[in-house]
Structure 1
Amino acid sequence: MKKGKRMVKCIKMYFYPAAVFILALCAAIPPAFGAGLPQTAHHSGGDKAAAVLLAEPAAPNGGRSSRVQSAENSAKRSRVAIIIDDLGNGMKGTDEMFALPVKFTVAVMPFLPTSVKDATRAHELGLDVLVHLPMEPRQGKPEWLGPGAVLTRMSDAEVRKSVEAALDNVPFAIGINNHMGSKVTGDERVMGIVLAVCKERGLFFVDSHTNYRSVAGRMAQEIGLPPVENHIFLDDVHTSAHVVKQMRLVQEKALNQNYCVTIGHVGIHGKETAAGIRSGIAVLKDSVEFVGISELVKDQWKWNSRVTLP
């Protein structure tokens, strides 16, 4: 009997403290994950929201967790900068280009009837503006150049005067690209002056790449400017089907090297080019990001443009 009482006493001595410990431990454990999730998590898009909440603790001070941000942007998409050349003369396709559903860049020729209007319209739509500077080609008709052209026979002072006048004529320009110009972009003397004006005004130069022996990129780097160049012409054949084909090449180039600069045109076949670009955008939009040239230059070459007017 005494032995039984001692056994009961021992059980009480060890059992009660253990029970108290287990109860305290249970109180400290949080409720099962998901117990407090709102019911809306079961509706459209809710599974994704619930998964994020389960995988990621709340950020302090009511902010968004950086890990959630990185999960949503798990990989930075390759970038495409479309430049549309030859605006400034009310050419076909102008309105269709302005109606494109993505960011692009407008290259406006100076001293033409709609130069200021087109540059202003682009700026008001949040688009980048370049001066599409006429430059002497190796071949081609002089009348294709338009007014204010830069020629290799000009003196240093004349080249500078032409570049500065063109920049003064096109408002909101953040850079220059060449219209034609296969002869000028191979001429170190003339390109040196063009690039010097760009640097003085906080601009950059986009080599349209009409000359595969262009010195523009190398010389730009030598004076601290970004070596920006066109990779693909979209409308070297004037059909919308060809433009769509070229847009696929743009996608391939962008995915391979993380970015691509491409050029199309308004003009006689401007509507076909615009239609092809629009179709291409629909195909590419889930794999690349369309940006203005300034955004690409800032991201790719860490260039912060500080446009300075005289």
Structure 2
Amino acid sequence: MGAASGQRQDTALHTAVLTEPAGDSKAAEVQEKPLRPARSRVAIIVDDFGNGMRGTDEMFTLPVKITAAVMPFLSTTEKDARRAHEHGYDVLVHLPMEPRQGKPEWLGPGAVLTRMTDAEVRERVEAALDNVPYAVGINNHMGSKVTGDERVMGIVLAVCKERGLFFVDSHTNYRSVAGRMARELGLPPVENHIFLDDVHSAGHVMKQMRLVEQRAKSQRYCVTIGHVGIQGKETAAGIRSGIAAMKDSVDFVGISELVKEEWKWNTQLTLP
């Protein structure tokens, strides 16, 4: 399905190679050269940590690895990021970015806006990164207007590159320039494929998890996004049920592990 509900969200192998060295009397040796994992991989990103939102505890007790996308400058920003890190989860800065539509108050503090100067955009991005400990990357909160703006996205991605981070396009804009520009800068073009909770019920999330499984099996991997918040417990319950049905067929990984495997991304983080 791809990120079929992105716009709505913005408003709320190895191969075994037999080798026998020439002139060597030893028996032939089997050398295993890993090309790709045998099982498909799923990276579950959970957005909107950082404000003590409903479903936070339930997400942290899921039986698989998740990636915690934490909003900056909120009441539990640092606590949630540290808790995720202690669980062995990847942390992303869930950076508020200007949408085409939606209420400004939904953005939260520290938002990146298209009317800002280059210096102001850079200052906002760096401040958010400094405020969320252990972050290995950024993904956008809302942001359909910013992710379509080459000037602003160029600054966001430049900061990512300078710090050894990657950007995950939440895909709230089907005309996003983030992936193309990431490639041009030598960054991995990571994007969300499926929103889990565009409809707020555990049953819908379970249905979306089946789509995640299908996409992972057909394309080797799938990145999917859910949320804590008003319906966070329902989303967590749907994810938990989906995991139970999928655990024998896919591997659940952190987003950094997926990025390293899929795009051969190996960088040294420059942390504040």
Q: TM-score range by the shorter chain?
A: 0.7 to 0.9
Quote the residue 2:195 is aligned against. Answer: 233
1:103-252 equivalent positions in 2, closer than 5 A: 103-252=65-214
Partner Cα separation in structure 2 for residue 113 and residue 141 of structure 1 = 21
Contact 1:107-1:177 at 8 Å conserved across structures: yes
* Structure 2 unmatched runs, 5+: 1-28
Shift of 1:249: 0.2
Partner Cα separation in structure 1 for residue 146 and residue 165 of structure 2 = 19
Q: Deviations over 1:10-49 (max 9, x none)?
A: xxxxxxxxxxxxxxxxxxxxxxxxxxxxxxxxxxxxxxxx
- Secondary structure of the corresponding residue to residue 126 of structure 2: helix
Code of the residue aligned with 1:283 in structure 2: it is A
Higher relative CO (CA 8 A, sep ≥ 6), structure 1 or 2? 2
Q: Which has the higher strand share?
A: 2
Shift of 1:305: 3.1
Partner Cα separation in structure 2 for residue 107 and residue 192 of structure 1 = 21
Quote the residue 1:91 is aligned against. Answer: 53
Shift of 1:148: 0.2
Are residues 276 and 297 of structure 1, via their aligned partners in 2, closer, same or farther at CA, if it must alter by over 3 Å?
A: same
- Alignment RMSD, CA only? 1.7
- Secondary structure of the corresponding residue to residue 69 of structure 2: strand
Q: Deviations over 1:132-170 (max 9, x none)?
A: 000000000000000000000000000000000000000
Partner Cα separation in structure 1 for residue 106 and residue 37 of structure 2 = 44
| 1:264 to 2:252 alignment | no
Question: TM-score, normalised on structure 2?
Answer: 0.87
Which has the larger Rg? Answer: 1
Partner Cα separation in structure 2 for residue 268 and residue 79 of structure 1 = 28
Quote the residue 2:11 is aligned against. Answer: none
Partner Cα separation in structure 2 for residue 106 and residue 76 of structure 1 = 26
Question: How many residue pairs were aligned?
Answer: 242
* Structure 1 unmatched runs, 5+: 1-65
Give aligned-pair identity as a percent: 81
- Secondary structure of the corresponding residue to residue 147 of structure 2: helix
Contact 1:174-1:305 at 8 Å conserved across structures: no
Shift of 1:75: 6.9
Code of the residue aligned with 1:207 in structure 2: it is D
Partner Cα separation in structure 1 for residue 204 and residue 190 of structure 2 = 25
